[in-house]
Amino acid sequence: MKILRLEVPHWEQFDGLVHGFLGRFGDQGQPPNAAFRLSYDDGGDPQAIKRNWCELKLAIGLRDISIITAKQVHGDTILHVCSATEKLAGIGDGLMTDAPNLCVGVMAADCVPLLFVEPVRKIAAAVHAGWRGTAAGIAPRAVTLMKEVYRIDPAALHVAMGPSIGPCCYEVGPEVAEQIAANWREELMGTWRPEGVKGRLDLRALNEAQLLGAGIPQSHIRKIGPCTACHVRDFFSYRKEGKSGHQLSFIGWRS
């Protein structure tokens, strides 16, 4: 099985870092249908899901490392993962860890997957930010929590945002912009373009503005990959396909 895997070119310098933004898999790239299930909580056969994980890890050459995920609910909870004893860390839309030899991962299909890395202390985090998570400020919240829990300087963090729906395809109603503007009015400027009664939202640019406000240097923020809805052969897109599968983004450190 072949899987498209995008990596951050600049992160090659971080020795021992393992990461990737994966593309669609398990359905021969033909949208829609037959998505390759990885979520233990969506009613699928647990044995089949376990086999899917084995196949996936074999395909990306990570058989010896656990990938820990969470039951995602479009909220702003970030879970602190200390060990690889549980495959599912709990309910949350972000996971962070300072433990070696495990990866944290999030699933997305249009929403923004964000991977964070602090290369000196070897901290890693993965965050899922749709418009609700972004309105709740989940990305800057991850920065604040890493600062508190691991005592790191936000200026030392690097962030990459993976394939997600672009402003070319993401039309939303004014109520969405209003909810975001409640806490992020300044950040919304330039990332929201009204068009008639609706408007277009640039979710990655909005997250970038939030991250800059949280103290991450501009030069440490990268955008990897295209708009998911424009590239459904390579990526699942909920907006384009209706009920779709989800692609995995993951990050961690080998000791």
Q: What residues make contact with Zn ion under the rule CB under 5 A?
A: 166, 168-169, 227, 229-230
Where helices occur in the chain by DSSP H, the ranges are: 46-59, 131-135, 138-150, 174-188, 203-213, 238-241
Q: How many CA atoms lie within 13 A of 169 on its CB side?
A: 19
Q: How far apart are the first and last CA of the chain?
A: 28
DSSP state of 63: T
**Distance of closest approach, residue 168 Cβ to Zn ion, in angstroms:** 3
SS3 label, residue 181: helix
Q: Nearest to residue 36, comparing CAs of 246, 237, 250?
A: 246
- For tokens 């009015």, name the residue: 185
- Tell me the C-alpha distance between 168 and 189, whole Å: 17
**Distance of closest approach, residue 167 Cβ to Zn ion, in angstroms:** 8
**Distance of closest approach, residue 113 Cβ to Zn ion, in angstroms:** 16
**Distance of closest approach, residue 88 Cβ to Zn ion, in angstroms:** 31
**Distance of closest approach, residue 163 Cβ to Zn ion, in angstroms:** 10
**Residue of minimal CB distance from Zn ion?**
227
Q: How many CA atoms lie within 13 A of 98 on its CB side?
A: 10
In this complex, which beta carbon is closest to Zn ion, that of residue 166 or of residue 225? 166
**Distance of closest approach, residue 121 Cβ to Zn ion, in angstroms:** 37
Question: What token pair was written down for 120?
Answer: 């000196």
**Distance of closest approach, residue 130 Cβ to Zn ion, in angstroms:** 16
C-alpha distances in Å from residue 206, one per residue of 50, 73, 115, 131? 35, 20, 16, 10
In this complex, which beta carbon is closest to Zn ion, that of residue 24 or of residue 158? 24
In this complex, which beta carbon is closest to Zn ion, that of residue 89 or of residue 229? 229
In this complex, which beta carbon is closest to Zn ion, that of residue 105 or of residue 167? 167
- For tokens 């919304």, name the residue: 188
In this complex, which beta carbon is closest to Zn ion, that of residue 154 or of residue 166? 166
In this complex, which beta carbon is closest to Zn ion, that of residue 133 or of residue 166? 166
Identify the burial level of 148 via C-beta atoms within 10 angstroms of its C-beta, where 0-12 means exposed, 13-18 middle and 19 or more buried: exposed
In this complex, which beta carbon is closest to Zn ion, that of residue 19 or of residue 240? 240
